[in-house]
Amino acid sequence: MLEEFSKYLDDIIYPTQKEKHQLWNISGVLKNRLNEHLKYDVRPMIKTPSGQSQKKGSTKSKADKIVFQDDYNWVIIDSTEIFQYITQNNIKTLELKDLISELDWNIILPKY
């Protein structure tokens, strides 16, 4: 997932050994979309025993954006906004479709 998403970034930097605990996997400038150098959490989603896909996160993450994927798209969500949403709504389990409709900041990129 990391290698595939890196194709969408310029000026890529990977975390140093010292930075790995900050819970981001890659930083860079999103091609043709943003001009800001941001840190991305690109950890893959995992299947639960019940068959649902999930991605664990932490409010201690230094990632600026959290990246999700489906078969056709990358979905990039602002980490501060998602953590505020979780806190305000007192929830622990989120649906990606709900985040896309409820949060103000997201980008959906078709995969190439």
Nearest 10 degrees: CA dihedral of 37, 67, 108, 49?
180
Residue 25: the pLDDT is 93
pLDDT tens digits for 33-72? Answer: 889 999 999 988 888 788 777 777 777 789 999 999 988 9
| C-alpha dist (Å) from residue 74 to 40, 67, 90 | 12, 7, 26
Query: If you write DSSP's letter for every residue of 96-108 in order, what string do you get?
Result: HHHHHHH-S-EEE
DSSP 8-class letter at 72: S
Segment 5-13 shows an average pLDDT of 96
- Per-domain boundaries in the chain: 2-110
- Residue 16 tokens read as 């140093």
Look at 95 and 25; give whichever has higher pLDDT. Answer: 25
* Summary mean pLDDT of the chain: 89
pLDDT confidence tier of residue 84, bands split at 50, 70 and 90: very high
Cα 76 from Cα 66, distance rounded (Å): 6
> In percent, how much of the chain has pLDDT > 90?
52
pLDDT at 23 over 90: no
- Residue 40 tokens read as 């991305």
Residues ≥6 apart with Cβ < 8 Å to 31: 8, 9, 10
pLDDT at 4 over 80: yes
Cα 45 from Cα 48, distance rounded (Å): 10
Look at 85 and 54; give whichever has higher pLDDT. Answer: 85
Contact between 79 and 65 (Cβ < 8 Å)? yes
